[in-house]
Structure 1
Amino acid sequence: MLKFDPPTSPHPAGLSPPSLPTNNQINMFDDDSLLDWMEIGKGGFGSVYKARHNKMGHDVAIKILHDVRWLFSCKFVLRVYGMYKGIPPYKTVKQEGIVMEFMTRGSIMDLCKNLRGPPPFPLACRLIQDVASGMRFLHLMGILHRDLKMPNVMLSEGLHAKLADFGLCTMSATCCPSNEGETENLGTLKYTPPEAYDINYKPVRSFDVYSFAIFLWVILSGEEPFPSEFNQFSYYQYMPLK
């Protein structure tokens, strides 16, 4: 039987935008502080490792990114301990990344696979509330996630949801309307709104809201939003490109 923590507040979304850390507030991690590296994931925006921090005494996750732009944390977003600069195992050049809390329960996608279906309805509602709060936190900071999906929502020991994987994060066009070239790297196809494929599209909050709606469908139904035969080629036929 699944056991999970009850909600700590009837209004967990009551968040206010925090200030971003300045350079002298950012904890720096190097190779000497991280032991027993293990690669646990890889994507277009870098590799993810698990390692043991020799001073904190527990495992952390290290996300190697080509462009480290965001360092932020809240209750509904993976806790960020600081920034990593060093040479990961089997690499020959120095790389940068972020050091985050390691979630032993994996993602909501892992949970659904283990349950062979959607989570119990009360738990699903609580997870939905957590994800909505995390999305609101980012939007209050003027930041879009742009890859909100089941595998990018991690679970704490008490089965609380936390947003992860910020390789596609960008400033919202409503906060930074002069951004150029933001139609590149749109994220996961099935979670991307059709209007995002317009050549003149600028990312706005509704991008994440659409992805969140697809997330709702998946977590409540236990099914993917489109049938398997609805592939990428057929989806592109309906894109409003100009």
Structure 2
Amino acid sequence: MAFTCTAEIKDSALDGWEVIGSGGFGQIYKARHRQWCCDVAIKLLHYDDGNSSALLREINMMCTGSSPFVIHVHGVFKGRSPSSGSSTQLGLVMEFMERGSLASLQQTLGGPPPLPLVFRLVHQVALGINYLHSLKPAVLHLDLKPNNVLLDSSLNAKLTDFGLAKFSQSFSRVYKKENNEEWGTLSYMPPEAFEISYSPKRASDIYSFGILLWSIVTGKQPYASKTITCANIVVS
């Protein structure tokens, strides 16, 4: 698979590795680029042989275009990380967002942000979605949530994490209860996503944006008092 991001960044160019996030997918590191004299974020998968199709796909999806409201991709990491030993890993090198995620901000505040910040965050997220949907073919994010909105030092918002993103043309999927890779975050997904046959559209992101907007305004998580799993969703 050819990269649309041309820069290949070796481990020798990076220093001061530090884990700043982790999940089922892998880990996010912060490191200092020696030549650029700036901090960058590196996304690496837990299990990777240096040729991960999932990460290659995400790299190309995020390199589709450029917007001030979508995280900027510096290039592709290929080399050894502090946790990989002697094996080579493939990764995504992105701009480092100093204030972390919107989810972290919500946890810190313990309530809704000030209204001027609410308006700015909602507007910037909407501009990011509009940009993705205006591409040809349109890019559907399909996992909009506070964890996937990152904030810079001035609390400006940018969309990130395109692991589930799809091009809108010729895409459909069959409902798979056991395959977590096919799912977004359940509490942010539109009702039709639980149908037997589901074809995501721009409207899928717009529904998720509505839930995200509510979360930004209230400072709360949707359905926080309920446990939502694939197993307890009844598909009619």
Q: Using the TM superposition, name which of 24-33 and 208-217 deviates more.
A: 24-33
- Which residue, 31, 34, 57 being the options, matches 1:54? 34
Paired with 2:220 and 2:4, the residues of 1 have a C-alpha distance of 46
More moved, 128-137 vs 105-114: 105-114
Distance in 2 separating the partners of 1:113 and 1:220: 14
Match of 2:83 among 78, 87, 90: 90
* Ranges in structure 1 where 5+ consecutive residues have no aligned partner: 1-21
- Superposition map of 1:183-194 within 5 A: 184-194=181-191
Instruction: Give the corresponding residue for 2:235.
Output: 240
Aligned to 1:30: 10
Distance in 2 (CA, whole Å) between partners of 1:101 and 1:116 is 27
Q: Which amino acid aligns with 2:69?
A: F
TM-fit CA distance, 1:185:
2.3
Q: 2:198 aligns with which of 196, 201, 212?
A: 201
Structure 2 CA distance, aligned partners of 1:73 and 1:38? Answer: 27
- Would the aligned equivalents of 1:194 and 1:239 in 2 still touch at CA under 8 Å? no
Does structure 1 conserve the Cα–Cα contact (< 8 Å) formed by 2:215 and 2:221? yes
Provide the rounded CA distance (Å) in 1 between the counterparts of 2:132 and 2:102.
Answer: 20
**Amino acid in structure 2 at the alignment position of 1:26:** T
Relative to 1, partners in 2 of residues 1:182 and 1:46: Cα closer, same or farther, differing over 3 Å?
Answer: farther
What's the TM-score once normalised by structure 1's chain length?
Answer: 0.81
Matched residue of 2:198: which SS? coil
Partner amino acid for 1:197? F
Check the 8 A contact 1:45/1:167 in 2, yes or no. no
**How big is the alpha-carbon RMSD for the aligned residues of Structure 1 and Structure 2?**
2.1
Rounded to whole Å, the distance in 2 between the matches of 1:157 and 1:194 is: 36
Structure showing the higher helix proportion among its residues? 2
Counterpart in 2 of 1:138? 132
What is the deviation of 1:46? Answer: 2.9
- Which ranges in structure 2 are unaligned for 5 or more consecutive residues? 46-51
In the alignment, residue 235 of structure 2 is paired with which amino acid?
P
Percent identity reads 44
Would you say the 8 A contact 2:175–2:194 is kept in 1? no
SS of 1:232's equivalent in the other structure is coil
- Asked if 1 retains the 8 angstrom alpha-carbon contact of 2:5 and 2:73, the reply is no
Equivalent position of 1:151 in the other structure: 147
Distance (Å, rounded) in 2 between the aligned partners of 1:25 and 1:208: 25
